[in-house]
Amino acid sequence: MPARILIVDDEPNITLSFSSLLKDEGWGCTTAGSAEEALALFERGMYDLVLLDLQLPGKPGLECLREIKASAEPSEVLVISGQADIPMALDAVRLGAVDFLEKPVAPEKLIASVRAALLVADSNRQRSLAADDLDAQSPMIGESSAMKKLRKMISQVAGSDATVLVTGPNGTGKELVATRLVLESNRRTKPFIKINCPGIPETLFESELFGHKRGAFTGAVKDHPGKFVLADGGTLFLDEIGDLPMSCQAKLLRVLETGEIETLGAEEHRTVDVRVICATNRNLRELVSTGNFREDLFYRISVFLIEVPPLSARRDDIPLLAGTFLRRFDPGGATRLAGDALAWMSTQPFPGNVRQLKNLIERVCILYPGQTVGLSQLQAEPAMAESGGTARAKEQSSLSDQVTRFERTVIAEALSAADGNISEAARALGVDRANLSRKIKELGLK
């Protein structure tokens, strides 16, 4: 499908010549003589690019730009300006215009600029689709108080550019939290670059993060931009930052404080706009006290601290998580967990956290496809025996607590199978809908 371009200019001869020239290149064109007309057209249809003159009758061009960029599905805007409008054109770029053209515009310059702007539009569209796909793949599952608190913290800080430190044991989902922070931010369609800090050799840290020029050192056969440049405008995720060597910590601190990177072999510095999110399973305060982590870097990366709870602190979420993983590994829904198996799982410590639970469900789907897996089969799983599952009985709880946990597990399973439909869940459980609704509220499941 050819790109659709909206040309906005109050001079008919300009809209006619631009339209004719761009149509010859195979692009579809619509014209408007004012900002009001352009915005009305924009509300009714989708445009890949808007060519916008700044000097318009009625509503100013800059105001038109603001409204286009603030819309639910904004288009790229290429601003057209006269010599006297250059300062205004620069303001337009700061407001989100992809570029500006100075009048009079040579035909070859117009075509080249439009082609470049459409490439930007296509790239942003692909990023948006990728972000939507990532969003669908990265839900935060759980209705426990711990998960509600975690989701609230993510929502509070996602919209800012504050540096975030995500902590928690292995397998709790620290990378998922970082992903949600990006998806709920205004950088969701911008680059999201992930770095595993222990995976970078100390001698290559500077080159990997800040880039190098060809010939900067032996083996540098071509220019390398570095992760900070690749993430410019977006987010950089530094996983397991607690394992970063001290020499690398100093270099990272400098960039976080100044926003400037020094590419190896380059004479000039470059400023980047990067939001940094860090994660670790280590106690950074202890590392600071033992001299193994810089105190100034710790305070720089922990402007906002998010601690991800272990699965043992949110056992009420186990049935929901198990149901989600069952649907992932057996989309047909033939493999299920018996009520006693789910109830027993909800009492287990799961030292490997959500990752251990996920691996267990995947193994169950492989070993017992299409079956209803019972308690004895789960207890026989090596992963559960190794995690001390049978030793859980040492942690005694009252009969009332055990009954409540069992009820919560069975009802949560029924709700999950019914996609949250209480009436359907009530029919499956053979109980009255009103009583089930009251029980759901008592157990805090909704």
Residue pLDDT, tens place only, 213-256: 887 777 777 788 889 988 999 999 999 999 999 989 998 999 99
307-360 tens-digit pLDDT: 999 999 999 899 999 999 999 999 988 999 988 888 888 888 899 999 999 999
Looking at residue 255, what is its pLDDT? 92
Residue 406 Cα to chain centre, angstroms: 35
Residue % of the chain over a pLDDT of 90 = 50
* Per-10-residue mean pLDDT, the chain, length 446: 90 93 93 94 90 91 91 88 77 87 90 90 75 75 92 94 96 94 91 90 86 78 84 94 92 91 81 94 95 96 96 91 92 89 88 93 93 89 61 46 69 75 85 84 69
Residue 134, C-beta contacts closer than 8 angstroms, at least 6 positions apart: 179, 183
Backbone angles phi, psi at 321, to 5 degrees: -65, -45
- The rounded distance, in Å, linking the Cα atoms of 243 and 241 is 5
Concatenating the DSSP letter of every residue in 352-389 gives: THHHHHHHHHHHHHHHSTTSEE-HHHHHT-HHHHHTTG
Predicted pLDDT at 21: 94
Q: What domains are defined for the chain? A: 4-133 (3.40.50.2300), 153-308 (3.40.50.300), 312-443 (1.10.8.60)
CA distance 361 to 267: 54
**How do 49-53 and 76-81 pair as beta strands?**
parallel
* Per-residue pLDDT, 49: 94
Q: Which residues pair with 88 in a beta bridge?
A: none
Helix axes 422-429, 399-417, angle to 10 degrees: 120
The vertex-160 CA angle with 142 and 243, nearest 5°, equals 70
CB 69 within 8 A of CB 77: yes
- Please say whether the dihedral angle defined by the alpha carbons of residues 309, 310, 312 and 314, taken in this order, is positive or negative: positive
